[in-house]
Amino acid sequence: MLETEKNYVYVGKKPFMNYVTGVVMQFTTKGAQEVTIRARGQFIGRAVDVAEVASKRFLEGTVKVAGIEIGSEEFQNEMGRKVRVSSIEITLKKDPQ
Amino acid sequence: MLETEKNYVYVGKKPFMNYVTGVVMQFTTKGAQEVTIRARGQFIGRAVDVAEVASKRFLEGTVKVAGIEIGSEEFQNEMGRKVRVSSIEITLKKDPQ
């Protein structure tokens, strides 16, 4: 699959179920084989919640966690101070079995 | 390595650097080959921060992320309602190179 064809869901401050529905629809309506859930900073825990609820409640037995990566970016804030923010990427994949 | 010999650091509400120091000391003072950082619910983002700061700032080039797992537990709260809480486990490993 080309990088440009990857299906991303970015988790932020919208209502929780928006993200779960987003993930579920990619698999069910759009026929995606793989969806990657991304978040930064304070939304990392939420991304894990989205992945768990989507894969265990809504898509149970059809989708599994295929990979998880964490990372971090450093940048300067308005005060000129170095700030580090962590990020996470959780990839869900259609389970052939 | 036996399950009982695993080195765990549970991330919660104590000061952030306590956990980073805990991880770093396991590798440096106690000679651990592997340390697993665990957290639940609201502390998941913090566990990612601890893993990133420990592996990229304090132990750069000597330790790497060897595996990440997410999960969830369901239980009943005091009101008798079903509650689901996500969890994460991040395993850092000594990098032989």
Q: Is the pLDDT of residue A97 over 80?
A: no
The pTM of the full predicted model, rounded to 2 decimals, is 0.90
The better pLDDT of the pair A5, B83 is held by B83
> Is residue B2 pLDDT above 60, yes or no?
no
- Residue B54, domain extent: 8-94
B44 and A48 within 8 Å at the Cβ level: the answer is yes
Chain B's closest residue to A56, CA to CA, is: B72
B81-95 confidence digits (pLDDT tens): 889 999 999 999 998
Chain A residues in contact with chain B using a Cβ-Cβ cutoff of 8 Å: 41-45, 48-49, 51-53, 56, 65, 68-72, 84, 86, 88, 90
* B1 part of a folded domain: no
Nearest by CB to B48, from A49, A52, A88: name it.
A88
Q: A68, B68: Cβ pair inside 8 Å?
A: yes
Write the pLDDT tens digit of every residue in B52-67.
Answer: 999 999 999 999 999 9
Minimal Cα–Cα distance from B4 to chain A, Å? 25
Q: Tally the domains of chain B.
A: 1
Residue range B8-20: mean pLDDT, rounded: 97
Q: Does residue B2 belong to any structural domain of this protein?
A: no
- A67 lies in some domain: yes
What pLDDT, on the 0 to 100 scale, is given for residue B4? 47
Q: What is the mean pLDDT of residues A50-63?
A: 95
- Residue A46 forms part of a structural domain: yes
Give the pLDDT confidence of B24-55 residue by residue, as tens digits.
999 999 999 999 999 999 999 999 999 999 99
Per-residue pLDDT for A32 more than 70?
yes
Whether A2 is covered by a domain: the verdict is no
Residue A77 lies in a domain: yes
**Residue A20 included in any domain:** yes
Predicted local distance difference test score (pLDDT) of residue B21: 97
What integer pLDDT is reported at residue A12 of this predicted model?
A: 97
- Chain A residue numbers touching B43 (CB-CB < 8 A): 45
Q: What are the contacts of A69-77 at 24+ separation with CB within 8 A?
A: A69/B68, A70/B48, A70/B51, A70/B52, A70/B65, A70/B68, A70/B90, A71/B52, A72/B52, A72/B56, A73/A40
Domain assignment present for B75: yes
CATH number of the domain enclosing A83: 3.30.110.20
